[in-house]
C-alpha cells in the first residue's frame, strides 16, 4: 500500500456499499458520485475493507480500483452484450441449478458476494436486488442431482458461496456426500482474497467431509490482491488438505501485460494454488472497457510459455455466448498448414516434426 493510500480516512473496517461510502473513503469525489448514480442504481456496489485498503486514490490507473469502483463506462452497452452472456438460462433445469456439461452441474448457492466486480458476467443477477441470500429451491436442486447418475461433480457458485454461514455450507456438503454418484464438490470464490477473515477454522471444517472430495477455485486478478491476511486464509485451506485451483479474468488495464500476468500466476503457485482458468472477458452489459482482443490474450499466453514454470500455465478459455460452454482458445505451437509440419519453441524458433 502506498503512502498516499495510507492517509485516506477509510470508515472503520466495514464494507463500502454506496457512493456515499466511496466518497467518505476518498475513492471518488462528490461530483463524480453524482455522475455515477445511474451506475449505482443498476449495479450493486461492495468493496471490502481489505480491498479498499489496497486502493491508491491518487492513481487513476489503480488495478484494484478499476475492478471494484463504479465507472460511467458501465452505462455503455454494445449490441453484442447480453444480461446472460454465457447462456445460464438455456441450461437452468430448476431455479439456481445449471446443467450445461454431461457430468457436472453448477449450483447458484447464494445470490450475493463479498465484493461486486464491475466486470461480473452475472452482474444483472447478483446483489441486494436479487432478493434472497440462498437460492429459493435448494430441495429441488438436490432432488435433480440425486436423480441424475451422470452427475459426478457439483460446482458451487452464485454469487459467492463462501459468504454463506458455515452451518449452511456443511449442510450442503452433507447432502451432496449422501449422493453416491457425486464424488466432487467444487466451490468458486473470491472470499479468501477479498474477505480473508471469513476463512475461519469453522468455515474450513464445513468444507470437509470423508465421503466427498472438496476443491476450491480461488478467483484473483492482480498480484496486489495477495495480502498477508489473504495468504494466511489460503494457507488455512491448503493445510486442511483442500486442493486449490485458480480463476482469473483477463482485464484491460488490470492484468493484460505479460509481466503482471506472470507475477500473478507465480503468486498463485507460491500459495499452493494451481493456475486453472484465464477467462476471456464475457459479453456482460457495460463491460467492453474491460475486454481485450482474443489475439492479445493469445500473445500473453505465448509470452508465459517457457518463460515461467509449467506450474504457472492456466488454460485460456472463452465461454461461447448462447450457452455452448467453454472453449480453449490459447495459441498453438504446431503449424498444421504447411509441410513439413513445424513446432515453435518458446523462443519463437520453428523446428521440423517428422510425418506421422
Catalytic positions are 100-101, 104, 113, 117, 120, 122, 282, 319, 326
Radius of gyration of the chain measured on its C-alpha atoms: 21
* Whole-angstrom distance, CA of residue 202 vs CA of residue 129: 29
Burial 191-213 (b: 16+ CB within 10 A, else e): bbbbbbebbeeebbebbebeebb
Question: Which SS3 state, helix, strand or coil, does residue 302 take?
Answer: helix
C-alpha 168: how far from chain center: 22
| Ordered alpha helix ranges (H), the chain | 3-6, 19-24, 30-35, 37-42, 49-52, 63-68, 138-146, 166-177, 191-194, 201-206, 228-239, 258-270, 294-304
Element (H, E) at 316: strand 315-319
| Phi, psi of 80, deg, nearest 5 | -85, -10
What's the rounded Cα separation, in Å, for the pair 352 and 341?
A: 6
**Using CA atoms, how far apart are residues 39 and 118, in angstroms rounded to an integer?**
10
Amino acid at each position: 500500500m502506498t503512502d498516499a493510500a495510507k492517509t485516506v480516512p477509510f470508515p472503520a473496517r466495514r464494507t463500502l456499499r454506496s457512493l456515499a461510502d466511496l466518497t467518505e473513503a476518498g475513492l471518488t469525489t462528490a461530483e463524480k458520485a453524482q455522475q455515477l448514480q445511474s451506475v449505482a442504481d443498476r449495479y450493486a456496489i461492495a468493496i471490502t475493507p481489505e480491498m479498499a485498503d489496497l486502493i491508491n486514490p491518487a492513481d487513476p490507473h489503480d488495478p484494484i480500483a478499476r475492478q471494484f469502483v463504479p465507472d460511467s463506462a458501465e452505462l455503455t452497452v454494445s449490441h453484442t452484450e447480453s444480461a446472460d452472456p454465457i447462456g445460464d438460462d438455456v441450461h437452468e433445469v430448476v431455479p439456481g441449478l445449471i446443467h450445461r456439461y454431461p457430468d457436472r452441474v453448477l449450483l447458484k448457492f447464494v445470490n450475493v458476494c463479498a465484493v461486486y466486480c464491475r466486470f461480473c458476467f452475472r452482474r444483472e443477477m447478483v446483489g441486494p436486488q436479487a432478493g434472497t441470500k440462498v437460492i429459493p429451491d435448494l430441495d429441488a436442486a438436490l432432488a435433480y442431482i440425486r436423480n441424475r447418475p451422470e452427475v459426478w461433480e457439483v460446482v458451487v457458485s452464485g454469487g459467492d458461496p463462501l459468504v454463506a454461514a458455515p452451518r449452511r455450507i456443511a449442510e450442503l456438503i452433507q447432502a451432496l456426500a449422501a449422493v453416491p454418484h457425486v464424488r466432487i464438490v467444487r466451490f468458486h470464490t473470491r472470499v479468501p482474497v477479498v474477505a480473508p477473515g471469513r476463512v475461519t477454522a469453522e468455515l474450513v471444517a464445513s468444507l470437509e467431509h470423508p465421503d466427498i472430495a472438496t476443491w476450491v477455485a480461488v478467483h484473483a486478478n492482480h498480484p496486489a490482491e495477495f495480502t498477508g491476511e489473504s495468504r494466511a486464509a489460503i494457507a488455512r485451506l491448503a493445510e486442511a488438505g483442500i486442493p486449490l485451483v485458480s480463476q482469473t479474468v483477463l482485464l484491460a488495464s488490470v492484468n493484460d501485460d505479460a509481466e503482471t500476468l506472470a507475477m500473478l500466476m507465480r503468486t498463485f503457485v507460491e500459495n499452493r494454488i494451481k493456475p486453472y482458468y484465464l477467462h476471456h472477458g464475457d459479453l456482460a452489459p457495460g463491460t467492453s472497457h474491460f475486454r481485450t482482443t482474443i489475439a492479445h490474450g493469445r500473445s500473453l499466453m505465448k509470452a508465459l510459455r517457457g518463460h515461467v514454470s509449467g506450474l504457472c500455465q492456466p488454460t485460456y478459455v472463452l465461454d461461447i455466448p448462447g450457452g455452448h460452454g467453454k472453449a480453449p482458445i490459447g495459441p498453438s505451437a504446431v503449424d498444421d498448414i504447411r509441410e513439413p509440419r513445424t513446432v515453435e519453441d518458446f523462443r519463437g524458433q520453428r523446428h521440423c516434426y517428422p510425418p506421422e
